[in-house]
Each structure stands twice: as structure tokens, then as C-alpha cells.
Amino acid sequence: MQSKAWPYEEARKLLKRWPEGKPEPMLFETGYGPSGLPHIGTFNEVLRTTFVRNAFHELTGQPTRLVAFSDDMDGLRKVPDNLPNPEMLAEHLGRPLSRIPDPFGKHESFAHHNNAMLRHFLDRFGFDYEFLSATDCYSSGRFDAGIRNVLRNWDAVLEVMLPTLREERRQTYSPILPVSPASGRVLQVPVEVVDAEAGTIAFDDEEGGRITQSALGGMAKLQWKVDWAARWVELGVDYEMSGKDLIESVVQSGRIARILGGKPPEGFNFEMFLDENGEKISKSKGNGLSLEQWLRYGSEESLAFFIYREPKKAKSLHLGVIPRAVDEYWQFRGNYAEQPIEQKLGNPVHHIHSGEVPGGTLPLTYGLLLNLVSLPGCGDKDTAWKFVQRYAPGTSPESHPELDELIGLAVNYARDFVAPTLKRRPPTEMEAAALRELDQGLAQLPADAEPETIQHLVFEVGKRHPFDSLRDWFQALYETLLGSSQGPRMGSFIALYGVDNSRRLIAEALASGG
């Protein structure tokens, strides 16, 4: 109840919402537009919502539900660039996604295909959720009461929406979008309420002629901000978060929800991810990092760690953040067992693992592994394991599966991004003198020297030479031995790579300087 961890702060909003407790399970919702395939933003929203859901359950022990809602009654506005059969899709522009053939030829409709992808995606990561389809909710009559409610409050809903629209849009705006009986398209046309209780509306069809028909049973859908509000009311949604770009939409939909006799859910607006140039990530631009890319180079837990931290701060999401996220996840996990309870509750791993944090630590960091597997002759998993087992006796792929996964991820990252960029430079005369002394010192050490012993030697050598700072000495080691401007703790690296192998690196560096 006192923790400042953001999932608990969010969960406590629900205690204020229902001070006497809710008679049925607390309902959390995440929305999904099925015109595209699931992506890292989908994972982000569902995972953060799950953090809050778990925190609420910890606080109260009360049952909860999570609904993943697919807006598959939306009309297809444009043909995505990355799909087969674009000509066929172009013929169906404007029709509900659930009434367009599947361009992949595998499912009943385009929406069914993408909904199946969503469910497979959520199942893959073990999310506990219930799937709801807008098409099913409208066609089955589940949303009929909500549509009647909008028709009864037509003028009040318009009073909220019209001031937010451009003049041109106001002329055609309608809270309800009828489905044309002739073309099957979702129409953006003015609508007249004929009989609110019967659910009857009238409009000019795009094929010509005045049409009077029911808005119920899937023959119309609500305009999206009105739809969002009505859905909150009809389903009884208690919590839904959304991106910062939807702040105004949340305000407008909240006002409409109150007009409809309900209460908008609790939640907050999270900041958007940025690419390495500081630009907002866009599916259409393709300038972001895909979920598959992250999981090729970093663990699922490291992605969850990255997503957990600072949800209201814009963060750069690119390949360069993965190694740090992996190492920080393990650092926080290693600290967890010894922390007092208030620190445990604020530790990201508590929320990533729903309070059941696995024990154990890793004998070396992802960053150290990257430096190892970036060197010639070390860039495969079997070779890397030989170095690791010498550095950490008693480890094996069977006994340390998480370390085995980490080695594989580091090999992928080094092969694709690190090794091609490495370029060792010749040492300066001063650096060469220091390297020669370091080599002499290493020659006096046993092959199994401890990392701390080696680190002390490296420090002492650096102090005896006229570097402006020890940082310059370490940077010289990274640039002449490893080909990078940054690097690991040298004592740990030399212990991992081996004293003899490290001396060979020094010899190569000295030879390159003439």
C-alpha cells in the first residue's frame, strides 16, 4: 500500500474506484487494431497492463480479467505495403476487416487471420486474457444496448465531438457508421436518428437513394471515440492504458462514457518509443525495432525489464539498448534476494516474474560475452562455452540453460553488429610501452589467475605511465586490443579469454605499431 512502484500506484486507483470492493472481477482491457500484425507496441501495452493487474491482485487477492479487444469491424482504409494480394484488398477498401477475404488464403477473413496472429502472439508469451472481437460483439447484439444509448443521447454526443473536428469533417460526422446494404462498406455519412428505441437510422447510401435500416445486429458500428466510450460502459471496463498520442481521445471518450451513464476506466498515457534518431517509431515507416529482432539478440525478460522502467518517459528503442537491458535485468535480479521488502516491491524483476523471482546469478555479463565472441575464432557457441567453462568451472548448457541462451544471443549480436565494425588501431609509443609492461606482468601470472588480481595489475601499469587519466589507459586497451572505443572490465575479460590468448592480442597490437 505504500510502495511507489508504478504498478502499485496504478492498482491503488482501482481501490479508490471501488472502495467497498467490486462484486465481480476487476476488468482490464487492451485494444488492438487488426489491420496490421502484432508488434512490439502490442507486447508493450499488454505487458504493462498485466503488471498493474498483478499488482492489484497482490494488494487485494480479488479476481481480475484481461480482455484483448480487436476492432475488426473497422473499415479497411488503405492497403498495407507488406501483404500479398494487394489488388484483391484494394477492391475491398472501406469494408469491415472481418468481411474481407484473407490475403494469405488461410482464414475466413483478413481480420480472422490477424486475430489468430494476435492470439498466437499473446499465447506465445503466456498472457492470461480473454479475446473479444468487435464483429462478434456487434453482430451478436451484445452492443445493441450501447447503440440505442448513443441514439438516445445523440445531441449530447455531438456536442462533445463536433468542436474537436475540422469544419469540413463536421459536415459529414456521425457517431454511428452504417454498413451499406449495397456495397458492404462502412460509411462515413451523416445519419438521422429515426427511432432510438428501435435502433432505426436513415442515411444516403453511396450507391444512391435514401436508406432506412436498423443500426443493430452488425448493420452499423460506432465511430471510434464513441465506440471506445460505449465499449467501456457495456463491458464494464475498469482499467485501460494508452499511448500519449491518445490523450485527447481519452478525454473525449471519457466525457461520452459519462453521457452514456457510465464511468471511464482508470489508466494512464504512456510515452511513445523513439528510434535511435529520436523520431517516433512508426509501423508504416518501419523505423522501429521489431519484437523478433529484440528476441534474436536479447532475452524476453530483458525486453520486459526495458518496458517496465519509466513508462511515462520517451525512450529510444533500438538495437544498441539491448546489451545494457540484458545486463541490468541480471543485476536487478541478483540484488533481489537480499533486498528488504520495500526495495523488492520496487525492483522491476518482482513485477516481471509476478513476485516469483528465480534464484541464481550469471558468472559473467552479456557485455563481457560480447567482447569475447566478437574476437576472431570465438564467434560460435561451442567455442564460447569452452572459454566460459574455463572461467566458471562447473557450468554447462544443461546445468545453466539461461547462460546457454545468453551465449547464443551474444553470438547473434556480435556476428550481426559488433564484429563487422571492429577495427584495431596501432598503439602510440606511450601506449606501446604500457602494453609491453602489461605483457611482462601477465607473463608472471598463473594461467588461472583471478580477475581481481589481473585487474589490479592493469590498474598499476596504467598508473605508472603518463596517461591523462586511467580512463584513457582503458580506452587505449579497448581500441588496440579489441577494436572498440568501449569495452569490459579488463581483469574479467583477460581471465575469460585466457592470459596466454590476451598476451597474443598484445603481441599483435605491438606488431601493428611497427
Nine cell digits for residue 60? 487485494
Entry pTM: 0.91
Pair (92, 17) in one structural domain: yes
**Cβ proximity of 403 and 395 under 8 Å:** yes
Q: How far apart are CA 207 and CA 431, in angstroms?
A: 81
Partners of 362 in beta bridges:
none
Pair (118, 53) in one structural domain: yes
Put residue 417 in one of left, alpha, beta given phi > 0 → left and psi -120 to 50 → alpha. alpha
- 14 occurs within a structural domain: yes
pLDDT of 16 reads 97
pLDDT of 283 reads 55
Last residue of a domain, one of 186, 204, 222: 222
CATH number at residue 126: 3.40.50.620
- 10 occurs within a structural domain: yes
Pair (300, 325) in one structural domain: yes
Contacts of 388 (CB under 8 A, 6+ apart): 363, 364, 369, 395, 403, 407, 496
Instruction: Name the stretches of the chain with pLDDT < 70.
Output: 35-37, 281-288, 514
Pair (15, 97) in one structural domain: yes
- 347 occurs within a structural domain: yes
In order, the DSSP letters of 150-219 are HHHTHHHHHHHHGGGS-HHHHTT--SEEEBPTTT-PBP----EEEETTTTEEEEE-TTSSEEEEES-TTS
How many other C-beta atoms lie within 10 A of the C-beta of residue 90?
Answer: 11
Nine cell digits for residue 199? 435502433
Last residue of a domain, one of 100, 122, 139: 139
- 307 occurs within a structural domain: yes
pLDDT of 204 reads 96
pLDDT of 33 reads 81
Domain that holds residue 120: 6-139
Q: How far apart are CA 281 and CA 44, in angstroms?
A: 13
In order, the DSSP letters of 439-502 are HHHHHTS-TT--HHHHHHHHHHHHHTTT-SSHHHHHHHHIIIIISSSS---HHHHHHHH-HHHH
- 437 occurs within a structural domain: yes
pLDDT of 157 reads 98
pLDDT of 387 reads 96
pLDDT of 282 reads 62
Pair (21, 129) in one structural domain: yes
- 247 occurs within a structural domain: no
pLDDT of 285 reads 57
Q: Give the pairing type, strands 242-243 and 220-222.
A: unpaired
Structural domains in the chain (count): 5
- 128 occurs within a structural domain: yes
Last residue of a domain, one of 403, 421, 439: 421
CATH number at residue 480: 1.10.10.350
Rg (CA), the chain: 29
- 339 occurs within a structural domain: yes
Pair (11, 116) in one structural domain: yes
* Number of residues assigned to the chain: 514
Q: How far apart are CA 68 and CA 176, in angstroms?
A: 23
Q: How far apart are CA 223 and CA 177, in angstroms?
A: 6
Burial bucket for residue 84 (CB in 10 Å: 0-12, 13-18, 19+): exposed
pLDDT in tens, 106-149: 999 999 998 998 899 899 889 999 999 999 999 999 999 999 99
pLDDT of 72 reads 93
Pair (306, 192) in one structural domain: no
Mean pLDDT (the chain, rounded):
94
pLDDT of 402 reads 96
How many other C-beta atoms lie within 10 A of the C-beta of residue 388?
Answer: 25
Pair (75, 107) in one structural domain: yes
Pair (218, 315) in one structural domain: no
Pair (10, 125) in one structural domain: yes
